[in-house]
Chain A
């Protein structure tokens, strides 16, 4: 209840929190508060709204468990389809016609996107359920990047794009969950490649930043420093200014991406933001339509863990 008292004065912000009432039944109450002013601007007082959110939280949990179960149950049939396709592709005595090989290729591609989608959904449900624990150790940034490149390189090569890496050798080791940061790179690079024309250029650059004035101009105000700043830049279709605030929302896809029939789940950047935030970092972007996009993220440098 103490938190309520903090909002009893002339506090010009709205706020929402939740607390639990224990007793015979546990209820979760979400509350929301906003200052109320007269037309002339004088403060009349505060408006408080309390809402019993117990049921909606329970529903939300059920949804998360359901989605995770579905995603999990998709794993086995996907495995069988994927492996059967591999056998067809690898069988030297295969009697497939030229058309037949193309059909198999179509199945292979679609299974691959389904697999990626299921993976994203599993990651997202874990994030939402708060079930992500980072397994941190000191790793060089390049360890995570190389792990990502193992899977992304073939996508970039298939589109004849050029990938430039500018990673200084003297970056400090970072206190990170390597797999999670690899996933951040994978998602950003997959996007960069996907939204850039064939033959375009992708750039990954990293640098140590100690002072706020050394950050790029459009950086958020509350970046934890010192940090390693990473930029993933493409020469692709770009993102309209009015959409830039929304692209980290789950399932959000830009108008342009949908019009161009570029496949995607709208989960990649949501996962990027979650993982970077869990590491104490920030993620943001700079982009304009047809001018390409640059995604920035930071990973704080922490010593002596």
Chain B
């Protein structure tokens, strides 16, 4: 069964996002490591990726770029979640193919809504 891949190195935030999405009926797999996220993303093709930028192993941007290059037009949607709030950061993310960008602190209700807009209701 297809899942949402969440790469977030703040453990409490990771737990909260995962729980929220699970209560919405999605299956979530979490990691704190960028390199692990990349391996999973390329071998298992998650339904959607939620990526923090500052991750150990590989940055969220590295993962995003590699996943978009690998899957091309068939790539799962990627949502960047970051405290970086400058427009330049948001544009840089869009430039490498990110489909959406949420600035922390975001609302979980908002996050769930955006995920739903990509994946449809569950």
Contacts and interface: CB of A to CB of B under 8 A. Distances in A.
Q: Which 3 pairs, one residue from A and one from B, show the smallest C-beta to C-beta distance?
A: A75-B83, A79-B105, A79-B104
A78 interface: yes
Interface stretch (B13-21, B31-39, B70-78, B114-122): B13-21
B16 A84 contact: yes
Contacts of B87: 133, 135, 179
Contacts of A90: 23, 108-109
Interface in B50-108: 83-87, 104-108
Given A80-B13, A83-B13, A84-B12, A75 B105 contact: yes
A179 B103 CA distance: 14
A186 B20 CA distance: 29
Most chain A Cβ neighbours within 10 Å, of B17, B23, B105, B109: B105
B104 A122 contact: no
B10 interface: yes
Which of B20, B23, B83 lies at the interface centre, i.e. has the most chain A CB atoms within 10 A of its CB?
B83
Contacts of A87: 16, 19-20, 108
B109 A86 contact: yes
A78 B105 contact: yes
> Is chain A's binding surface mostly helix, strand, loop or mixed?
helix
Nearest to A131: B86
A139 interface: no
A126 B84 CA distance: 13
A119 B87 CA distance: 14
Interface of B: 10, 12-13, 16-17, 19-20, 23, 83-87, 104-109
A82 to B, nearest CB: 5
A286 B20 CA distance: 47
Contacts of B106: 79
Interface in A54-86: 72, 75-76, 78-80, 82-84, 86
Contact of B10 (A80, A86, A115): A80
Name the residue in B16, B84, B107 with the highest tally of chain A Cβ atoms < 10 Å from its Cβ: B16
Nearest to B52: A76
B122 to A, nearest CB: 16
A68 B84 CA distance: 11
B12 A75 contact: no
Contacts of B10: 76, 79-80
Contacts of B86: 126
A80 B13 CA distance: 5
Given A79-B105, A83-B108, A90-B109, A122 B12 contact: no
